[in-house]
Amino acid sequence: MTFWALAIVVGFAAFAVTSATASAAVALAWRAAAGAIDGLRPAARARLLLAARLLPALASTIVVAAFVLPAFHRFEPRGQNETVGVSLAALAAAGAALVALAFGRAWRASRDTRRFVRASGGARPLVLGGGVRASAVASRFPLVAVVGTLRPRLLVADRVLTACTPRELDAILAHETSHVRSRDNLKRMAMRCSPDVLALTATGAALERAWMEAAEEAADDCAARAHDGGATDLALALVKVARMAPAGSAVPLHATALHHGDTIERRVRRLLAAPPPAAGVPRWWHAARGLALAAGALVVAGALDVRLLAGVQAAVELAVSTLP
């Protein structure tokens, strides 16, 4: 096997091993801390869940790109045709499969979104304010959804525009504007396309559902704070939209919708129970961000440390020579 072919095999194998290890760590942490996470404010909960869901792919990419491949490039002799065992080849195939599956999920999500938008009826420009691109559509489903990742657009069904009062439409707009400003569609796509073992497990799906619930509640809070009575207006709009939805219908999960076709009881009760807490970033988030920056600095320093890279290459050589 040539130098570059071996580098590809080693890189994908290291990606698979790191992804599996980090995915297992996240799954164990989720089981242990799910109850405590539920007690956080929705915006903070959404941030933490997003970080947890993307951690395996991020850790795998950093390990391979900052350590394994640089060490291999620096210390692996050229001109030697080495052979690899079945185990290392299998690990490399698993790593490549994780990346290929991630691209496949991204393609399917984009395809399904385009199909759904086309099936929703001819879109017409709609001026709602708030700086959000909006279109009215003749959809049978009471559609209120933000579609697109890089250039998000709000789609609103004609029947929703007719059924809701101006105050309710203002509350809906505030809710969806919050999703746009938070780039929730981009975050959702990042989780869906994350090339890791976690994406193949029930834990990964549970983390994505929990993030979606937290993101919806955070947007509900923004709408409730937008104007006096915003919580009541949004609750009434939710009830109207849910009642108009045909039984068994739903919108694609990769679109950020006001109502996906599921139950809204918890959200309505939450909106009407008490005013949402004031917006703000919790102190622990600043500490976590500081730790992340410190970890990034350590990664950069480690990647520049010749002795550390030599140790990484020694571990790679041991794996290549000993794996059957």
Rounded-to-integer distance, Cα 310 and Cα 21, Å: 22
Q: How far apart, in whole angstroms, are the C-alpha atoms of residue 161 and residue 157?
A: 7
What local confidence, expressed as pLDDT, does residue 265 receive?
83
Residue in this structure with the two tokens 């697109």, named with its chain if needed: 148
103-162 pLDDT, tens digit per residue, is 998 888 888 877 777 766 667 777 776 677 888 888 777 888 888 888 888 888 888 999
Least Cα distance to 162 among 137, 132, 133 occurs for 137
Residue 280's pLDDT is what?
55
Q: Could you tell me if 20 and 197 are in contact, meaning their C-beta atoms sit under 8 angstroms apart?
A: yes
Distance CA 64, CA 37 (A): 30
Token couple for 16: 């698979």
Residues 217, 270 contacting (CB under 8 angstroms): yes
Q: What is the pLDDT of residue 28?
A: 92
Residues 6 or more apart in contact with residue 147 via CB below 8 angstroms = 113, 116, 117, 153, 155, 185, 255, 256
**Structural tokens at position 153:** 């657009």
Tell me the residue range of the domain where 263 lies.
Answer: 3-322
Q: Could you give the count of Cα atoms lying within 13 Å of 161 in the half-sphere of its Cβ? A: 16
76 C-beta neighbours (distance < 10 Å), count: 17
- The SS3 assignment for 78 reads coil
- Residue ranges in the chain modelled with pLDDT below 50: none
The angle formed by the CA atoms of residues 166, 168 and 172, to the nearest 5 degrees, is 115
pLDDT reported for residue 85: 79
| The pLDDT of residue 303 | 58
And the tokens for 257?
A: 């919708």
Please state the domain count of the chain. Answer: 1
